Chain A
Amino acid sequence: MADRLLSLPSSADAAIRAHGEMTYPHECCGALVGRNGHVTSVVGLPNTTEEGPRRRFLVRPSDYREAERKASELGAELLGFYHSHPDHPARPSQYDLDHAWPTFAYVIVSVTGAKAGDLTVWFLNDDRSSFEEGTLHHAEDSHSDSAQAVHRQA
């Protein structure tokens, strides 16, 4: 598969890192909103997992819909989702793979001891066999609707 790109403005990058640090030692999660591989906004979403938020996240259908609504309000669409790996590297787990949607960009930020570190992006292969690491392009903020993180408690 061709190398896939995701362009992430530095404010979105910062918002994702801040979200991960805020929820540490729990996982944070949120939606990536934009167009044609360019993220324009990130939308922080509540982690509603019932399996222990230290190692799991879940965006429930109602929040997915809300993120979708938010995206269309901004005249954009959902490009994917981000989540944090507290005290684990920014690489997708088997669980991530098992639950992945195609075409979506999966941004993972590693948070070690409440400090955000590596930030990577991944795309599911068509046959669901693995993730392909994509290339992050750290764009400067150019859009008026620049990154905003909405931190909500479940």
Chain B
Amino acid sequence: MPKILIPTPLRPYTDKLDAVDASGATVGELLADLTRKHSGLKAHLYTDQGKLRSFVNIYVNDEDIRYLQHEQTPVQTGDTISIIPSVAGGAPSVTDVVTGLPQLTNDEIKRYSRHLIMPEVGVDGQRKLKAASILCIGAGGLGSPAAMYLAAAGVGRLGIVDFDVVDFSNLQRQILHGTPDVGRSKLASAKDRLQALNPEVHIDTYETALSSENALQLFEPYDVIVDGTDNFPTRYLVNDACVLLGKPNAYGSIFRFEGQASVFGVKDGPCYRCLYPEPPPPGLVPSCAEGGVLGVLPGIIGVIQATEAIKLVLGVGEPLIGRFLIFDALRMKFRELKLRKDPDCPVCGTHPTVTKLIDYEEFCGVRHAATEPATVNHATEITALELKQRLDRGDKLKIIDVREPNEYQINRIAGSILIPLGDVPRRYHELDPNEALIMQCKSGARSGRAADFLRSVGFTNVLNLKGGILDWIDKVDPSQPKY
């Protein structure tokens, strides 16, 4: 018969014997026989539900049955079965961790009932959500669905940073805002919507541009940061601030039909700089305003960010740490890349060189018009009004529109010629290097690059239309639609 070794604390129940014979073909049968013979053992080995207690470890010849077939593990004559205690305990914790958490009201219990009946959330998990605070950077495409689901899920404190005003072009995807909100501040609109969704949530709004001066202070009171930014300087800023503060960053980004998501900034996990140590050259990666984005895409990616934030608060599941998720809406496929923490990472590596927040616009090589005085450089630029005057005067000017054909379809300056930016290096031979050229795009950035290129290949008379067709429509031709 197999022999069962009895640990010290259980020997009073086996007449002080340290080894007892029992019969059975499996561990389960053997233990059943043991507890039949020595009935006092049962309450200490099994729960009221008849399961082995978590701190009771059963070994068959030095192998934990958790790595064998649990209680179905077969046993043979000559096998030695040992009951080995784990000894566990702690400060008044189950009750105590919980005493630190807010109680749920009866209304909240009703509201969150679908959470409460899941063991992974339950009452304690919902109380963790209520105690949690999450900061959304941006109330735009990603921030909209993320904030709405976080508010609906019962996150106790939700912060939103934004300084923008709702525009018609936002409504195709930024579902926090509605048509009547156009012209309102995004924060006011977001707060109304979220509060209507869930009045239990405390909402903090920060009407400011996130900067190296305010980021650490803004992030400090929050448990998780949800990065819904649409530009590289802010993305690096959010990443670095999260790493410096040790706060998880539920990252997402979108472009056209493709989205990305990951969780950065967690101790021992990689950060955005482990993936991209340097930003792309300015202008290389178009923004959504330049390249467009499928309206539903931020719905998918923003909800992934919210899911990760909630999992981090609950401490359940496998977070998206060290994994980089890429979603392709056209193919409807998710791919996952493994991400490793880079020991040489300038911010989260073993010898970081970035130990405080830096100037991220400089780091990304962008100094935007917003920070420059609104003067015109007459050597390289022309304003919409000047262009109109010169055209009216009968000056011989050739207007080159460097936008994409589908943009050209929406609006155009009469008489302009379409040569998309990407085609300019191939097609500039069609143009006379000495004729007066006006380069034009949507807002003046792409056409500025086209003008620089033409000058570099010997064109002598090239001006960039400042503010692009948007300014042209505002100042000269309001009959045309803007996008």
Given contacts A61-B57, A61-B86, contact A102 B93 (CB under 8 A): no
Name the A residues within 8 Å of B95 (CB-CB): 93-94
Query: CB-CB < 8 A to A100: which residues of B?
Result: 89
Q: Say yes or no: is B363 at the interface (Cβ < 8 Å to chain A).
A: no
Q: Are A68 and B8 in contact (CB under 8 A)?
A: yes
Taking the complex as formed, is A88 at the interface, i.e. its CB lies under 8 A from any CB of chain B?
Answer: yes
Q: Does A55 contact B (CB under 8 A)?
A: yes
* Given contacts A55-B96, A104-B9, A127-B43, A99 and B89 within 8 Å (CB-CB): yes
Q: Are B89 and A94 in contact, with the CB atoms below 8 A?
A: no
Q: Is the CB of B9 within 8 A of A64?
A: no
Q: How far is the CA of A88 from the CA of B93 in the complex (A)?
A: 10
A30-55 interface with B by 8 A CB criterion:
49, 54-55
Residues of A within 8 Å of B93, CB to CB, are 55-56, 93, 95
CB–CB A56/B88 < 8 A:
yes
Distance between A77 CB and nearest chain B CB, rounded to angstroms: 6
Q: Which residue of B lies closest to A127 (CB)?
A: B43
Given contacts A56-B88, A68-B8, contact A88 B96 (CB under 8 A): yes
Q: Interface residue tally of chain B, by bracket?
A: 20 to 34
Chain B residues 6-25 with CB under 8 Å of chain A are: 7-13
CA distance A77 to B95 in the complex (A): 33
Q: Is the interface of B mostly helix, strand, loop or mixed?
A: mixed
CB of A45 to closest CB in B, whole Å: 8
Number of interface residues of A (CB under 8 A): 39
Shortest C-beta distance, A90 to chain B (Å), equals 10
A83 near B90 with CB under 8 A, answer yes
**Cβ of B92 under 8 Å from chain A:** yes
A65–B40 Cα gap in the complex (Å)?
23
**Segment 68-121 of A: residues with Cβ below 8 Å from B:** 68, 77-78, 81, 83, 85-88, 91-96, 98-104, 106
Given contacts A78-B8, A103-B9, contact A64 B86 (CB under 8 A): yes
B86 touches A55 (CB 8 A): no
Q: Are B9 and A94 in contact (CB under 8 A)?
A: no
